Amino acid sequence: MRHRKDTFKIGRTSSHREAMVSNMLKSLIEYERIETTLRKAKELKRYIDKVITLVIKGDLASIRSLKSLLRIKFNPKKENLDSKVFKKLNILKERFEKREKKCGYSRIIKKGFRKGDSALTCFIELVE
């Protein structure tokens, strides 16, 4: 029985899945649209909505939770991918904090089947 189990396993160990989700979150924040399989996109959609909600909230506890979720090591003296993601999050905050509806920040668009293994692929993107 799957009572009270709210995550998709995606055929990976928990540590691999957490690392994959945080890397995909960083890519989605940076590019605002990525192509992936449908199952990964559904799992990612849950997390990106939480991330944007935490960014809009903006208090210290939210920022610490956000750094933990994204595995960001932020150093203002160094210019790296993590600092770019953090700057992009501030841009997304300005875009989404004016929204009346406080959820549904991303959408999934189905693309078709992948040629090699016939996995259903899709785009996941942030809404305007």
- Give a yes or no: residue 70 inside a domain: yes
Domain tally, the chain: 1
Residue 46 lies in a domain: yes
| DSSP single-letter state for residue 56 | H
Residue 117 belongs to some domain of the structure: yes
* Predicted structure pTM score: 0.85
- The predicted model gives 6-20 an average pLDDT of 85
Residue 99 resides in a domain: yes
Among 29-43, 44-58, 73-87, the range scoring the smallest mean pLDDT is 73-87
Range of the domain at 116: 15-126
Q: The tokens 């996941």 sit on which residue?
A: 124
Indicate whether 8 belongs to any domain. no
64, pLDDT greater than 80? yes
In 1-128, at which residue ranges do the beta strands (DSSP E only) sit? 33-37, 106-113, 120-126
Per-residue pLDDT at 79 exceeds 70: no
1 domain residue, yes or no: no
Contact present, 24 and 37 (Cβ < 8 Å): no
CATH of the domain at 89: 3.90.1030.10
